[in-house]
């Protein structure tokens, strides 16, 4: 590539990525030369400023024409902008939690590494959202995964953290290999890694053997990415990793990493398998993605059931939220199964609601676990008397996670529910499972409420909130209530700025 070609690209479309990349370089060099006795909090605040600056630059790109650079490997379309907004907002809130995080096993010694590794993982998620090529999708996926393995094991002197990192690496390596094997089949038949070119080639397929091989490729890619989503039965790593990792890392994996997982699934499944024609017995042809709906539905149902039922037996609050996170992945898979015309809208809104209610809950969990040194649910007893703000905030997050009306979580579930019923062949069984498992979730969610409001406190000592954590709780509480009472604020913003994601493959 000559210099003139290089300069001809519209590099402005990558402004948010360049800001994050620049901040990674600054933080890594600063951490290297800063004296050891200097508090690394300053690096965290610099990283937070970088994320906010990237978010502002992304907002300025809303409404721009769909742009493709680097030979269509990087796309800035409405889909990319919409999901990057969630990724950057979630990252900014997680960064505030990380700044306030303290442990008794010396994590502060590695705090500088934490911040720039976290930003590196964030950069990977952003590349996944804008990728128009299998290679850049895979590079973004690994740019997210590899720092995440390190972050999960940051507490070097903690055996659970070591165990979580090892399990995460092993499961992540296996899932990566399976995903890459499936992608190799796609490349072998299409002869290209560009998603738009693959769609054009596959739209004219008629050889049944090729369609069969692509069916295998679909299952390998979907299974490999299901590890990343922690959807059943590929979820076994999640409870151990969530428990052993530092709380800000757990929050990151639960929200930002999971959002990125659904981003790459939507990019690959719709761009590739939504165009492969599969002949039916009546002579009609349907896309391969619709032909395998029953298998995705089975995975969604199993994920909702396993996540909610096993959560009932958990006493460790982070393990409970790990299984809760598994269940919520199942809810989003319901929207993916339905493939209605509101699928993108439903998934985007649910990820936004999930970000607010889950990050808020983890902010409260971080405060309690840092104060007590334990993650047992019993330490939430009497929280209302010790800190009414924390207790009321956690109550709002739990009501939203449970899908109670008046919260963003309820609207998110309602959108998925309606989307699954408005298609020609309504998914009544899947919707029934969704309702039943939501009711099951009330038992463990409201168990936390019982502890906070109706159990005596072991100590009357008041809890003081660090400024960063207080900001996270206030922002998430306001967002959870606001989008529950006035969901049109988010929905109208999406419709007026992202135009139903019609440019997804243009």
Residue 224 domain flag: no
For residue 180, what pLDDT is reported? Answer: 93
pLDDT the model gives residue 230: 85
Q: Whole-angstrom Cα distance, residue 352 to residue 350?
A: 5
The per-residue pLDDT for 275 is 83
Q: What is the structure's pLDDT at 110?
A: 59
Looking at the domain assignment, is residue 125 inside a domain?
Answer: no
280 part of a folded domain: no
Q: Domain for residue 150, yes or no?
A: no
Q: What pLDDT, on the 0 to 100 scale, is given for residue 333?
A: 93
Q: Is residue 409 part of a domain?
A: yes
Q: Is residue 275 part of a domain?
A: no
pLDDT at 104: 63
- Residue 375 is predicted with a pLDDT of 81
Q: How far apart are the first and last CA of the chain?
A: 25
What is the pTM for the complete model shown?
0.93
Alpha helices by DSSP H, listed for 403-487, are 408-421, 428-454, 467-485
**pLDDT value of residue 72:** 82
In whole angstroms, what is the distance from residue 100 CA to residue 366 CA? Answer: 9
Q: For the chain, how many structural domains are there in total?
A: 1
Q: Could you tell me if 375 and 243 are in contact, meaning their C-beta atoms sit under 8 angstroms apart?
A: yes
> What b/e readout covers 175-186, taking b as 16+ CB neighbours within 10 angstroms?
bbebbbebbebb
Q: What is the pLDDT of residue 107?
A: 54
In this structure, what token pair is assigned to residue 319?
A: 């393990």
For residue 449, what are the domain limits?
A: 310-506
Which residues of the chain fall short of a pLDDT of 70?
1-4, 6, 8, 104-110, 505-506
pLDDT of residue 505: 65
Cis peptide before 233 (omega within 30 of 0): yes
Q: What is the pLDDT of residue 67?
A: 83
For residue 4, being part of any structural domain is answered with no
**What's the pLDDT score for residue 9?**
73
> Would you say residue 415 lies in a domain?
yes
């Amino acid at each position: 590539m000559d210099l003139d070609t290089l300069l001809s690209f519209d590099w402005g479309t990558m402004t948010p990525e360049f800001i994050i990349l620049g901040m990674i370089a600054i933080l890594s060099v600063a951490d290297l030369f800063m004296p050891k006795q200097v508090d690394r909090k300053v690096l965290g605040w610099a990283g937070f400023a970088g994320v906010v600056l990237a978010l502002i630059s992304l907002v300025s790109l809303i409404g721009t024409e769909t742009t493709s650079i680097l030979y269509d490997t990087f796309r800035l379309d409405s889909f990319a902008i919409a999901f990057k907004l969630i990724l950057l907002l979630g990252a900014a809130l997680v960064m505030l939690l990380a700044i306030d995080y303290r442990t008794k096993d010396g994590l502060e010694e590695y705090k500088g590494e934490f911040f720039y590794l976290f930003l590196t993982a964030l950069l990977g998620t952003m590349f996944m959202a804008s990728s128009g090529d299998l290679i850049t999708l895979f590079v973004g996926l690994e740019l997210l995964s590899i720092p995440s393995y390190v972050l999960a094991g940051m507490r070097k002197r903690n055996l659970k953290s070591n165990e979580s990192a090892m399990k995460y690496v092993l499961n992540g390596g296996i899932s990566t290999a399976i995903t890459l094997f499936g992608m190799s089949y796609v490349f072998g038949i299409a002869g290209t890694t560009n998603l738009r070119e693959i769609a054009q080639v596959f739209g004219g397929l008629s050889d049944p053997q090729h369609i069969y091989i692509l069916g295998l490729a679909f299952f390998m890619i979907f299974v490999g990415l299901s590890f990343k989503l922690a959807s059943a039965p590929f979820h076994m790593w999640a409870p151990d990793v969530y428990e052993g990792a530092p709380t800000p890392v757990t929050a990151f994996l639960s929200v930002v990493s999971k959002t990125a997982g659904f981003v790459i699934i939507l990019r690959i499944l719709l761009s590739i398998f939504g165009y492969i024609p599969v002949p039916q017995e009546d002579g009609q042809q349907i896309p391969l993605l619709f032909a395998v709906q029953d298998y995705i539905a089975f995975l969604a149902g199993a994920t909702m059931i396993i996540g909610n039922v096993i959560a009932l037996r958990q006493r460790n609050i982070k393990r409970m939220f790990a299984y809760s996170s598994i269940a919520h992945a199942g809810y989003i898979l319901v929207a993916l199964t339905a493939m209605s015309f509101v699928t993108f809208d439903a998934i985007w809104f649910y990820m936004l609601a999930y970000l607010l209610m889950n990050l808020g809950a983890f902010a409260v969990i971080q405060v309690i676990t840092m104060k007590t040194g334990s993650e047992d649910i019993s330490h939430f007893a009497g929280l209302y008397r010790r800190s009414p703000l924390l207790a009321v905030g956690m109550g709002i997050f739990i009501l939203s996670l449970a899908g109670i009306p008046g919260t963003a979580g309820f609207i998110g579930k309602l959108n998925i529910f309606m989307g699954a019923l408005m298609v020609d062949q309504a998914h009544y069984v899947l919707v029934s499972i969704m309702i039943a498992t939501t009711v099951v979730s009330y038992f463990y969610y409201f168990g936390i409420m019982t502890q906070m409001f109706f159990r005596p406190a072991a100590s009357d000592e008041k809890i003081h909130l660090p400024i960063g954590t207080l900001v996270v709780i206030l922002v998430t509480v306001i967002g959870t209530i606001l989008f529950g009472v006035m969901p049109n604020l988010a929905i109208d913003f999406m419709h007026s700025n992202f135009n139903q994601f019609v440019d997804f493959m243009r």
